[in-house]
Amino acid sequence: QVQLVESGGGLVQAGGSLRLSCTASGRTFSGSAMGWFRQAPGKERGHVAVLDWSGGNTYYADSVKGRFTISRDNAKNTVYLQMNSLKPEDTAVYYCAASTRPISTTTLTDYAYWGQGTQVTVSS
């Protein structure tokens, strides 16, 4: 059974930092694109950051460019999201996702596997 388990969410003040982790089990994703998506209350789920199988190509939402960094450790089957200079508008449930393809996209339906999500709340 494939599982993606996120951790690292929580409550932080504006300007603070959090590091999210997502560890996969049940299969290896070293040859797959992975990414982070988020969903705020009343809004659709959207992409935050994605990267391809090698970690060499990354794509960020405009709202997080320069503040968030996505990375992966294929040996640990884990993807990370370092979030700095957090803003109240970053408050959302953050989801890890894994594709069956090596090249990353920002399209949710291209990702076959999803974690349960971790809450990130940024207070003003």
12-27: pLDDT as tens digits:
999 999 999 999 999 9
Question: What is the C-alpha to C-alpha distance for residues 69 and 19, in angstroms, rounded to an integer?
Answer: 9
State in Å, rounded, how far the first CA of the chain is from the last one. 40
Q: pLDDT confidence of 47, banded at 50, 70, 90?
A: very high
The H-or-E segment that residue 50 falls in is: strand 46-51
The mean pLDDT of 53-82, rounded to a whole number, is: 95
Question: How far, in whole angstroms, is CA 85 from its chain's centroid?
Answer: 16
pLDDT of 75 higher than 90: yes
Average pLDDT in the chain: 96
The mean pLDDT of 36-51, rounded to a whole number, is: 97
Residue 39 confidence (pLDDT): 98
The mean pLDDT of 73-93, rounded to a whole number, is: 97
